[in-house]
Chain A
């Protein structure tokens, strides 16, 4: 229960930090979409219900605070969560190289879907964004992902430790 109560607050904080502090530290050059790494982590480590709700909520907050098209990130994050779940079932998803390359791949997939959406729904050609925004983002997120995975694992262990009931004294 504590998971579902804490989740919205923590995810909203993550998105706010992502669009303020992290954007400032990246000097306005590259967007640090750490939320995507969190979604991939959820796909690798959480069950469908917990991870699915996490992805949907994270997408919702991203849509509210950063996206011009409501529902875009909700769809993208749920899709990436599903793909991560499938990948986790097929391969050993603990290798750092796999985590890094899969994160990069997901960032590129997200970029490609946004470009296609703009092309076919809004009639705008933003192919330049693949080169200027999404490929650098994919590289940076790929490099950062093993570190963030490690932090998230520690956080998960901490949460479980909090939930664990102490042994009763006889």
Chain B
């Protein structure tokens, strides 16, 4: 335990902070010494905590790039400045990285010497018995022998027995000065405390390196699959793909996944209207092939139950409805037929739909609108969805014709239709009104002979996240080591004990042996006194029949 600094210590402390007038090597050595000080580590830890806070105050690109863009748009003055200081990328920013890198350099500089020192301590013997054991924080004396005139063990004998008993208690022991009349044993236990401390710090470094490896060599991809469709783990098949900085596409393992069916369960308990219709369970039924020729396996995918294909994990992250639509163009040909993925926007799965039909002739067609899973219309007004379940699916759409602008080569968001430059055929505000399709009205002709749209069916789709993070397992193992090390370090006590035996006579003139023993803790150890008591009990059980009693000056004249 470190005591409050005495004035003199403080002065020394100050002296060591002053920059010595040394050359570059001296400066470097001085900087290194400053960096590897405990107080530096402490300040760096606090700085790290403070530096992490902005990461919760501002939207972060790692979390949601869209939110960052919106934030910058909403704050045109502050936004770019915040961006310049990397406040939207806190955890990959220069300043955050600088803090943790310094911290870990400090850690290495701190732990390596400690580890070496401990290795030496481990190999060497417990230190020599101090001349004055009585100076130790815990000090006791007992007198052996004299019970019904029983003989005491000789000092040498007593020390050997005490050493054996201490060894059994987990101490490593070193017997000294046998045959000198004042033999002693030096003992030490809890060497694993320091091992734990070192393991803990090294394993933290392991966690950091694992996480870094993950972000270098891992990847993340998203894919939406509609019931009945498949996905193959290749670069082209992804809707979006974020490789790690050093990722190589050849590393993708070629498994495939087919979505057989998807089921969402909703709360049907009417007791609390607020909760009615909340989702309670999502479940996807998949067929998985580990590699192109492998036997297919049926797998169940749920929200907290990812699929693991050789370390690549597939997560169920989203779901929704995909109405199956057939569009015929002005020439009467089928220009589109298939499911259209919609984006749910509320708790009753009112989902927005965007359909671009670039193959329609003579003019391209575009549709935007809503899918209502359970459409209910009151008094002829526009229908609304009242339930997330698929009870009365309906589509309300606006339609457009013209050049969709897809041929220009500019990438477009599939979920947004730019209606500028298009001719509106149907809409709320238009005399033709919107297109309304449901179970009864399956097909509508578009105005002015532009073709027709037919509502065939509704399928479900799932959004899958595919992740490969080679750092996951190493990070987990490092954590386990760190955790074990932490527990060892915090709850093992490191203590030294010394026992010395000398001869004396008690008041009755019986030859007795005085056993004096002291304990010293490394760090603060509130159980040191208890350990001293335990040792007393140990001696008592060893020599009970010969007599063990408190030793006091009056009963002896030869102390």
Please determine whether chains A and B interact with each other in the same assembly: no
